[in-house]
């Protein structure tokens, strides 16, 4: 019997996981005061309909949409009668654990309004949006263009006589595409379009545009809007496309915090211009995506680590040949799961740090923050998607069942690799920024590290310390930067053209990864020091696994330049193995400190009580629609007649 196994695991933990939970809560939800944590949990306990159910694994798409709309209504009813700030609303929305139009309304549409609308516009629009009297989405990406603003084709031409803007998507490539919530649900959108004034193109601006009637929900004149159809996962997020044909909106619908057009057709813009604020908004979105994508990995690890404690495989105890060994005790299982656990903590602390830097940044600092945000978004989403698949494989055959929760987590997370820029494109753009900083010798943290003189050899007396690991990661970044600088100089001397895209891209992308590694470790080491002493040994074991894994992947640079010795590399490998073993008893506490409710996890394998097999049998028998009939109709009608017996 599995009953009691997980309780025994919890007792073996070296720290009090219950005391750890509120400390991690701050990193997951930094905009929520600690005093409000228990209050929010109590609210959710009284609203069970705000959580999804296991039927999501068996329902057809129309039923899932109807349930999602019921959820949206109940959520809004709660918001209307409860005083909550934006972060608290996002916390409640996160419990549904699947992107849907209501999340897009609150996560994308309303933040864009707050950033781009004038105070007068916000006074008029925001109260209606926050009461869900209309549902908004965001329309920037086009069929033939990604989030690269300079090539957007959608136009908004001012007609002075009627005091209106006339919006058009002039070519098929310019149709707005991948609008989350646009296909079926949204009534309004923020459209990014080129402002045309007196036949002059003034560049991209943002417009508040109704696309469906509030009264009938029918598309408005000149608007052609539809759902995009089947996708990988994200079943209840109705991504849509939008075609505009001479759609007229009032002059006042140009979001005018930073620019406006007067009645006489005069343009007034102030610094920062509209396109700069759209840019800042997208940088912030990438940081938010980087943070949000961590939660599915945490959920996957909760399932896999709990199941690895419950599942026993092979009789390998020499002193008791009748007893099977739990999966969690096998080294390969520990390497799979503990490495990912270290990644999850590193990503959480690093994104907390970057969000804080971004929120207090100036325009001059945004250039380097943008490079780091693209690096994090690309790196984090890749790790999460591959990490959830690793968790699924770590659960063996049962991980293949939808009731494990793992296939759902994978298919709803993998799309994040394409949100706000496909990852390869983001890495290439981040690489261009770093090369640009080096070429211009601009004063930034990156250029300071790139131009430092690295010691000829790093002494390995303290190879377990954060200081030694930081020195190694800084050396890797520095050496990579010098290689890129050398190659760039050679290419320019040979009069090579289009260097960044054709001849330097791979080397520069590696530089982006090393810059991200260094920053992530610095944040990890810094935040550990803020935790009480009882939690630091386990956290430092995670930090060591993260840092040593990053260093060992790039050891060729250190060895090639004789910065460290082969003996040091071997000692680092041994130290990483030691750190893995140290986590054996603490793994369950470290993952359960994230406090993922079972009603959010929706996993048979990740049950808190460990009753895996009993529940899996019951659900497979009773919740499977195929099992409602003793003999499936198609067998009777088509297959049985073939039998000669």
Residues forming the active site: 420
* Residues facing residue 155 across a β-bridge: 168, 194
> Per the structure block, which two tokens stand in for 360?
């207090």
From residue 144, give the alpha-carbon distance in Å to each of 149, 172, 176, 195: 12, 8, 9, 19
Length of the chain (residues): 645
The three-class DSSP label of residue 142 is: strand
Of 277, 283, 245, 233, whose CA–CA distance to 258 is shortest? 277
Structure tokens at 268: 């007034």
Q: Which residue's structure tokens are 């349930």?
A: 67
Q: Which two tokens stand for residue 428?
A: 């290439």
Q: Are 505 and 431 in contact (CB under 8 A)?
A: yes
Q: What is the full DSSP assignment across 146-159?
A: -S-GGG---EEEEE
Q: SS3 letters for 171-182? A: CHHHCEEEECCC
Q: Which own/partner pairs from 569-572 qualify as long-range (CB within 8 Å, at least 24 positions apart)?
A: 571/460, 571/463, 572/463, 572/548
Q: In whole angstroms, what is the distance from residue 626 CA to residue 57 CA?
A: 13
Can you give the three-state secondary structure of 352-383, one letter per residue?
HHHHHHHHCCCCCCHHHHHHHHHHHHHHHHHH
465 labelled as ligand-binding?
no
Instruction: Find the helix or strand (DSSP H, E) in which 227 lies.
Output: strand 223-227
Cα 521 to Cα 410: distance, rounded to the nearest angstrom: 26
Calpha distance 568→496 (Å, rounded): 40
How far apart CA 184 and CA 101 sit, in angstroms, is: 9
Q: What is the three-class DSSP state of 64?
A: helix
- 25 within 8 A of 32, measured Cβ to Cβ: yes
Which tokens belong to 40?
A: 């929010």
Spatial contact of 89 and 79, defined as CB atoms under 8 Å apart: yes
Residue 572 CA: distances (Å) to CA of 331, 335, 412, 476: 17, 15, 36, 16
Cα distance between residue 135 and residue 351, in whole Å: 29
Closest by Cα among 382, 374, 378, 381 to 354: 374
Query: Beta-carbon neighbour count of residue 358 at 10 Å?
Result: 20
Strand 200-210 and strand 312-313: the pairing is: unpaired
Tokens of 300: 């996957």
Which residues fall within 8 angstroms of residue 221, CB to CB, at 6 or more apart?
Answer: 247
φ, ψ for residue 175, nearest 5 deg? -60, 135
Q: Which residues are annotated as a binding site for FAD?
A: 141
């Amino acid at each position: 019997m599995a009953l009691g196994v997980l309780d025994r695991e919890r007792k073996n933990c070296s720290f009090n996981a219950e005391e750890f939970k509120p400390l991690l809560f701050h990193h997951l939800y930094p905009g929520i005061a600690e005093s409000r944590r228990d209050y929010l949990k109590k609210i959710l306990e009284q609203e069970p309909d705000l959580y999804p159910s296991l039927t999501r694994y068996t329902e057809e798409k129309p039923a899932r949409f109807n349930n999602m709309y019921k959820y949206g209504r109940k959520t809004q009813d709660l918001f209307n009668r409860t005083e909550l700030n934006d972060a608290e609303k996002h916390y409640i929305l996160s419990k549904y654990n699947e992107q849907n139009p209501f999340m897009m309304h609150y996560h994308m549409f309303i933040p864009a309004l707050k950033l781009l609308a004038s105070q007068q516009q916000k006074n008029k629009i925001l109260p209606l949006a926050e009461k869900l009297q209309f549902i908004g989405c965001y329309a920037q990406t086009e069929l033939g263009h990604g989030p690269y603003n300079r090539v957007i084709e959608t136009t908004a031409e001012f007609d002075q006589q009627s005091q209106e803007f006339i919006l058009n998507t002039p070519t098929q490539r310019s149709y707005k595409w991948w609008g989350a919530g646009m296909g079926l649900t949204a009534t309004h959108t923020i459209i990014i379009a080129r402002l045309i004034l007196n036949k002059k193109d003034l560049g991209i601006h943002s417009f508040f545009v109704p696309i469906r009637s509030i009264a009938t929900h029918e598309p408005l004149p000149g608007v052609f809007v539809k759902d995009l159809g089947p996708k990988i996962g994200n079943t209840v997020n109705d991504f849509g496309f939008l075609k505009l044909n001479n759609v007229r909106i009032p002059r006042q619908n140009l979001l005018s915090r930073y620019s406006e057009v007067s009645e006489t057709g005069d343009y007034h813009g102030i610094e920062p211009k509209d396109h700069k604020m759209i840019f800042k908004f997208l940088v912030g979105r990438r940081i938010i995506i980087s943070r949000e994508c961590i939660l599915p990995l945490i959920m996957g690890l909760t399932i896999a680590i709990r199941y690895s404690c419950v599942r026993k495989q092979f009789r390998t105890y020499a002193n008791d040949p009748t007893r099977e060994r739990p999966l969690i005790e096998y080294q390969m299982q520990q390497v799979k799961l503990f490495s990912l656990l270290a990644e999850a903590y590193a990503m959480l602390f690093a994104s907390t740090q970057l969000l804080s830097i971004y929120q207090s940044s100036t325009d001059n600092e945004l250039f380097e923050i943008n490079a780091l945000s693209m690096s994090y978004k690309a790196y984090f989403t890749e790790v999460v998607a591959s990490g959830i698949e690793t968790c699924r494989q770590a659960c063996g055959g049962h991980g293949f069942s939808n009731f494990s929760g793992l296939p759902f987590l994978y298919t709803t997370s993998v799309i994040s690799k394409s949100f706000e820029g496909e990852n390869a494109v983001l890495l290439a753009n981040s690489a261009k920024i770093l090369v640009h900083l080096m070429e211009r010798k601009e004063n930034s943290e990156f250029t300071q590290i790139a131009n430092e003189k690295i010691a000829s050899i790093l002494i390995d007396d303290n190879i377990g310390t954060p200081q030694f690991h930081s020195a190694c990661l800084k050396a890797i970044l520095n050496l990579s930067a010098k290689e890129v600088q050398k190659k760039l100089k050679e290419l320019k001397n040979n009069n090579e053209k289009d260097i960044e895209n054709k001849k330097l891209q791979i080397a520069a992308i590696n530089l982006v990864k090393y810059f991200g590694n260094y920053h992530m470790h610095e944040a990890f080491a810094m935040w550990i020091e803020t935790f009480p002493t009882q939690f630091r040994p386990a956290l430092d074991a995670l930090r060591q696994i993260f840092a040593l894994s990053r260093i060992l992947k790039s050891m060729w640079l250190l060895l090639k330049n004789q910065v460290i010795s082969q003996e040091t590399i071997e000692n680092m490998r041994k130290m990483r193995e030691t750190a893995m073993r140290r986590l054996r008893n603490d793994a369950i506490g470290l993952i359960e400190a994230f406090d993922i409710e079972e009603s959010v996890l929706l996993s048979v394998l990740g049950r808190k009580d460990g009753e895996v097999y009993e529940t899996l049998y019951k659900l497979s028998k009773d919740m499977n629609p195929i099992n409602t009939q003793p003999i499936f109709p198609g067998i009777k009608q088509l297959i049985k007649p073939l039998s000669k017996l």
